[in-house]
Structure 1
C-alpha cells in the first residue's frame, strides 16, 4: 500500500470497510459471539471503533448512531430479528478465549 498517496490509501481502506459491513449484513446468521470467539471483535466493536475514530478527529459520533450504521438498522431491530441466544457451547468457547487473552496479557506483563 506504500505506492498510494494518503488520500488514495484512505479511500481504499474506506471501501474495504464498507465491503466488510456489506459482508456482515449479507451474513446475518453469523452471530456476534461467533465473531468474538474467532476474531475477538464483533459488530459492536466496529461501532465503538467508529466512535473512537470520530473522537480522535474531534468529531462527535453517538454510539447508537454508529451501531445503526454498522448494523444497517437500529440495533434493537437487528437484535430482535437476527440475534439468537448464545448456546452453552458458545459461552464456554467465549470464556476460554477470554481466559487465553488474560493469560497472554499477564505473560506480556511479566
Structure 2
C-alpha cells in the first residue's frame, strides 16, 4: 500500500514542481543556529555537544512563530529585500518580525 502511494504517477508528476525553498527553509535556519552554537572548527566532548544541540533546538522552537512587529500606532512593519535569485534586480517586501526571545541568558563556555 505504501509503495503504491509513493510510486503513484500523480505524486511523481508533482514532485519536480515543488519548491525546494519552502521545503528546506526551516531546516536551514535550524542548521545556522546549530552552526552558531557548535561551530565545526571547535571540538566539543559528547555531553557538551549534546547540550548545545538541545539549546539550539529549544531556541529554534521557541522563536519559529514570531509575530510581525508593529509600530507604536499599531501599523505592521515591513522591510524591502533583494533576493539573490533575482540578482538584486527585483525588490520583495517582507514582514519584520519581533526580536527573538532568548529566555534565560545562557552563556556557553567553549
Please, what TM-score do these two structures have when normalized by structure 2? 0.28
**Larger of the two Rg values belongs to structure:** 2
Please, what TM-score do these two structures have when normalized by structure 1? 0.28
